[in-house]
Structures are given as structure tokens and as C-alpha cells.
Amino acid sequence: MPGHDISLAPALNDAEKALRSELVADVKALAEDIGERNLNRYPQLMAAAEFIEASLMRVGLTPRRESYELRGRTCRNIEVEIRGARPEILVVGAHYDSVSDSPGANDNASGVAGLLALARRFAGKAYGQTLRFVAFVNEEPPYFQTEEMGSFVYAKRCKARGDRITAMISLETIGYFSDQPGSQKYPAAGLGFFYPSKGNFIGFVGNTRSRALLRSAVAAFKNERKLPCEGAALPAIIPGIDWSDHWAFWQCGYPAVMVTDTAPFRYSHYHSSTDTPDKLDYDRFALVVSGMEKVIAELAK
């Protein structure tokens, strides 16, 4: 679903300004106060997990730990469930670990901050489908796309239980935007002919089997008319298409899409020590999360 270059100066309403403040605070807590968080920085990884659990409990949600052992350490995925009228399940996820030697503000404190903000807004509400908000551990290398990846452990357990997951949305690096011409790159030759050259949109990415989910999500987001978005359902062999937790759900046969600012194809601080909270565009970040609230509500009907 290619589009054209659009420059948009977002104007936030009062609700979006409040959301922006939440995102700023949560990104700072994870990427600045806690910092690098992974198995090599295990106390920080646990501090991030505890921060997520406490944030969810403050709005009346009950986090459940999906734990597993890795390298002699207990690792935990953190899930909250909001029961719907039907057994079908919509999963919204984001990984809370960071790559080594990086505070991980955009990758992926931004995704976790978005996850927490969305969970707050759906707390106490009931929809047709059951909603699950899940913070995943160990997405980054050396566990990336292995059976030790937190989301793979989680998705495999869901499959074994027979969970009826109709859709999974992965929030992955969603806080950086640029209006500079040429700021947006692409993983495959030719995509730049069809998609914008400015990195001022949010992307929805899926494999070909998730095309219907992707189209529904993009349509719901575009209906808000707040921030440009682009969608692509492409073969998984294209680099970047499967670079997050949605990959794990594909392995288990579930439809899944990634919502992303495209990470290294736009963000020069990707996987580096300079991925700090000051690099993010919190106004447009807030519009992404606000738009995703409408997407989730539409998909969960």
C-alpha cells in the first residue's frame, strides 16, 4: 500500500498531550534511569520487568509472569489479559530488553512505553475479543530468532494450549521521524520507487499470510488522519520484514504485523550507545500510540 511524501506538523489535543507526557516519562525510566537491560545486565533487566509490572498494577491490571530459564537465569515475559466476550485473542507486544552497550530508548523503550500507554487506556474496558498486552524479554541478539527468544517461548506455549490468537501486533522502535529528503531508506532495491523518501511516517509490516490483518490495521490507522502511515505485506526473505517479535508468531502459524519507524532504515542511532531519550520525536510518537488505540479497538470488535 504505497503512498507519497507527506509533511505533517502534528498538533496534539489535550488527550494526546497527556499521552505524550506518559511516553516521555516511561522512555526516560527505561532508557535513562535503568539503561542497558539484557542478560549481561541482569539486575537492570529485572528492574525493567519490575517497572513494567508496577506500571500495569497501578491501573488495576494484574500482570502474570510467563517465566523460563536461560543461561542459569530466570527470564520473564509479562502479560496482562483483558477478557472479552469471545475466546479469540488479540496480542499487542513489545520487547523490553536492549542490545548490548545501548540504553535502547527507541529500541525498544519506545515500544514498551507505547504498550504501557495502550494497556492503561484499555484497562477496565471490554471488547468482543480478549486483549493481551505482553512485554517480551530477550528479543535482541544472541537470542534473536532462536528458540530462546522470549516471544518465541510465549508463542509456542500459546500454540500448545490452543490459544485462538487472531492477530498479533508488535510495537518495535516507534519514536523517530524525519522530514529531511532522503532520510528514509529501504531494505530492497525498488521499494523506494513506491514508498516515501522522507522518514516521517509510521510503517505497518507483515508477511504475505498476514496481508488481511495488515490491511485492516492500516485502514483503521489512516481513518484517524493524524499521521502518515505506510503498509507492506512482503515475502519474509526481504531484510527487516521479520526483525521483531511478530516473527515468533509467524513460526506458530499466527497472523502478525510489526508497527515500526523502520529502525536502521531511518534511525542512525540504531543499536548504539547514542540511542538515548533525547533522540525521539514525542509529538509524533504520541500520535502513533493514539492511532494504535483506535486500531486495536477496531480489530477487537
**pLDDT category, 4, cuts 50, 70, 90?**
very low
- Within the chain, where are the H helices? 14-28, 42-57, 111-122, 150-161, 211-222, 246-251, 282-299
C-alpha cell, 265: 532504515
pLDDT in the model for residue 3: 47
Q: Phi then psi for 172, rounded to 5 degrees?
A: -135, 110
Task: For residues 139-154, give the mean pLDDT.
Answer: 98
pLDDT in the model for residue 5: 46
Whether 281 shows a pLDDT value over 90: the answer reads yes
Q: What is the pLDDT of residues 63-93, one digit of tens each?
A: 999 999 999 999 999 999 999 999 999 999 9
Residue 1 lies in a domain: no
Q: What is the pLDDT of residues 20-57, one digit of tens each?
A: 999 999 999 999 999 999 999 999 999 999 999 999 99
Residue 9 lies in a domain: no
| Lowest-pLDDT choice from 18-32, 180-194, 207-221 | 180-194
Residue 8 lies in a domain: no
Cα–Cα distances in Å, from 57 out to 61, 70, 77, 90, 195? 5, 26, 15, 21, 41
| Counted domains in the chain | 1
pLDDT in the model for residue 217: 98
d(CA 26, CA 110): 8
DSSP state of 3: -
Going by C-beta distance under 8 Å and a sequence separation of 6 or more, which residues neighbour residue 98?
31, 36, 37, 38, 104, 107, 108, 109, 140, 275
pLDDT in the model for residue 8: 54
Whether 193 shows a pLDDT value over 90: the answer reads no
Rg for the chain, CA atoms, rounded: 17
Whether 1 shows a pLDDT value over 80: the answer reads no
C-alpha cell, 198: 522522507
Residue 6 lies in a domain: no
Cα–Cα distances in Å, from 253 out to 92, 200, 209? 16, 32, 9
Residue 200 lies in a domain: yes
Average pLDDT value for the chain: 95
C-alpha cell, 256: 502478525
pLDDT in the model for residue 89: 98
Residue 112 lies in a domain: yes
C-alpha cell, 168: 498479533
Domain that holds residue 80: 14-299
| Lowest-pLDDT choice from 51-55, 80-84, 235-239, 295-299 | 235-239
pLDDT in the model for residue 24: 98
Residue 98 lies in a domain: yes
d(CA 153, CA 131): 19
- The CATH number that applies at residue 155 is 3.40.630.10
Q: What is the pLDDT of residues 112-142, one digit of tens each?
A: 999 999 999 999 998 999 999 999 999 999 9
Task: For residues 143-172, give the mean pLDDT.
Answer: 98
3-state secondary structure of 116: helix
Sheet holding 130-136, edge to edge: 64-70, 73-82, 130-136, 89-95, 165-172, 256-260, 202-206, 229-233
Residue 52 lies in a domain: yes
pLDDT in the model for residue 236: 81
Q: What percent of the chain has pLDDT above 90?
A: 90
